[in-house]
Amino acid sequence: MLATYYELLKEYISFKTVHDTTTFSSEAEKTIKRLAKLFVKHQFEVQEYHIDDIPLLVATFHQNKNLPTGLIYTNYDLALQEISAEWKNPPFNLYLWKEDIIGRGVAENKGQFIIYLTAIFNLIAHQKLWYNITFLIDGTQHKVWTKLTEFVQQHLTTLQADFCLCSSDQGIGEYPTIEVWQRGSMNFDLILASSSLNPAFEMVKLLTKFYNQEKIAIPYFYYNIEKTKQETEIKRYGTNLEYRTIIKSTKVNHTILEPSLEITGIISFPKFEKSQMLPKKTIANLQMYLVNHQNFQEIINGLQQWLKFIVPPQLKTELLIHEAYNPCKFPLQNTYTQKAIALLAAAFKAPLEYKQKERCLKMIEVIQTAVCPNIISLPLATTTSNIGNANEHLPIDTVKKSFEFCMAFFGN
């Protein structure tokens, strides 16, 4: 199975699906076309779609209506990163070095996804697959996709599932990890315009009021935030394969868990250099990260009301929302998640770590809201994988243990 994994991953990472590059669309098309042929070869029904300029694929293998259905979600696009001279070999060529598989995307997501793909193909070939399976594969991780919710709603019958399993990002240390929730996100422009005041100067003054003693000053911003529990229940198998439970204190990174507001850019129009003319409009781009149970619409309402009181009447204000979605809490007390927790700990022979997902995926929020609440988010990469940087890698030992987990979880 490891040889098949190398073969599939080698071709998958050769597609340079780096977001915001001129070749992204053509490489994305190549990716989807190749995956479609691969799924058809392994008895899947395949549908290809396009949302704006992003190709998307849905592949289904439904063998028995009485079996539960697992939805496996992944995205094939990569964050834009400088390809440095530190790479030992060309980054989009797969190669082995010591105990690692190296290549751009092998840890960020592509290498993790191909683990599931290889295992499920193997189980189908040996007639040991215990679930109906649907794959949902897109390239929207780094692209605003306003039609995402509409697409999922239109294909609910096809995407219907009992659980959704996804793997991206990285775990904690060298241990298997399960993510208990992901932060929400809101990216928006705050626009000030005036014919009498200098909106650039007023914008700078306004932005300083967004913070009060290192806290965000928007009214009700911190309302209803869920407190993080300091005790976590960890379940695993002992060396004699007997089930047992351990209680330990959770190590929490409060910097990640705190909601945040970042000012990512300011620009004025018209631009001027030598002219003394005042700008007519100034735009500040802001990025918020939200935690459980914050709601972006409530925050928008509070922000709009607050601006009415603190912005001079000579200024016209406008909020332009580019992307917004709420945080998701992933339930642990269901049959599928508990099974995944126990089998992952057994495969890695180590207790699980629990973490909050700091990177936000809008598709996960849409799936949980519209398709099924049982999200199983299992990062298979480690903190040493160097995601997105030179010599990004996935340990071969991690791949082997992940196969052991997959064969036990998906098999009968």
pLDDT of residue 227: 57
pLDDT tens digit sequence for 59-98? 999 999 999 999 999 999 998 777 788 998 999 999 999 8
State the average pLDDT over residues 33-42: 97
Residue 237 pLDDT exceeds 50: no
State the average pLDDT over residues 276-292: 88
Burial grade of 311 (CB within 10 A; 0-12, 13-18, 19 or more): middle
Q: How confident is the model at residue 253 (pLDDT cuts 50, 70, 90)?
A: very low
pLDDT of residue 361: 83
Pick the CATH number of 2-183+327-410 from 3.40.630.10, 2.30.42.10, 3.40.720.10, 3.40.640.10: 3.40.630.10
Poorest-pLDDT segment among 78-82, 153-157, 209-213: 78-82
pLDDT of residue 286: 96
Residue 230 pLDDT exceeds 70: no
State the average pLDDT over residues 400-409: 96
Q: Which two tokens stand for residue 178?
A: 């399960």
pLDDT tens digit sequence for 92-116? 999 999 899 999 999 988 999 999 9
State the average pLDDT over residues 328-333: 92
Residue 236 half-sphere exposure, CB side, CA atoms within 13 Å?
Answer: 19
State the average pLDDT over residues 394-398: 94
Selected residue with higher pLDDT from 312 and 279:
312
Q: Which two tokens stand for residue 320?
A: 């332009």
DSSP β-ladder status, 353-357 and 375-377: unpaired
Residue type, 352: L
List the chain domain ranges: 2-183+327-410, 188-222+259-324
Selected residue with higher pLDDT from 139 and 82:
139
Peptide bond just before 293 cis, omega within 30 deg: yes
State the average pLDDT over residues 225-232: 51
DSSP 38-64: HHHHTT-EEEEEEETTEEEEEEEE---
- Cα separation, 94 vs 314, whole angstroms: 59
Please provide the average confidence, as pLDDT, over all residues in the chain: 87
- pTM of the full predicted structure? 0.86
pLDDT of residue 141: 66
DSSP 230-255: SEEEEEEE-TTS-EEEEEEEPP--HH
State the average pLDDT over residues 133-158: 85
Percent of the chain having pLDDT more than 70? 89
**Count of CB atoms situated within 10 Å of the CB of 361:** 21
Poorest-pLDDT segment among 67-81, 118-132, 161-175: 161-175
- Cα separation, 175 vs 354, whole angstroms: 10
Poorest-pLDDT segment among 123-137, 254-268, 278-292: 254-268
**Residue from 279, 293, 373 nearest 326 by CA:** 293
- Cα separation, 160 vs 294, whole angstroms: 27
Residue 366 pLDDT exceeds 60: yes
CA angle 258, 357, 332 (to 5 degrees): 110
Most confident of the following: 26-30, 231-235, 380-384: 26-30
| Contact between residue 375 and residue 164 where contact means Cβ atoms under 8 Å apart | yes
- Cα separation, 176 vs 170, whole angstroms: 10
In the CATH hierarchy, which fold is given to the domain comprising 188-222+259-324?
A: Alpha-Beta Plaits (3.30.70)
pLDDT of residue 144: 58
| Contact between residue 122 and residue 8 where contact means Cβ atoms under 8 Å apart | no
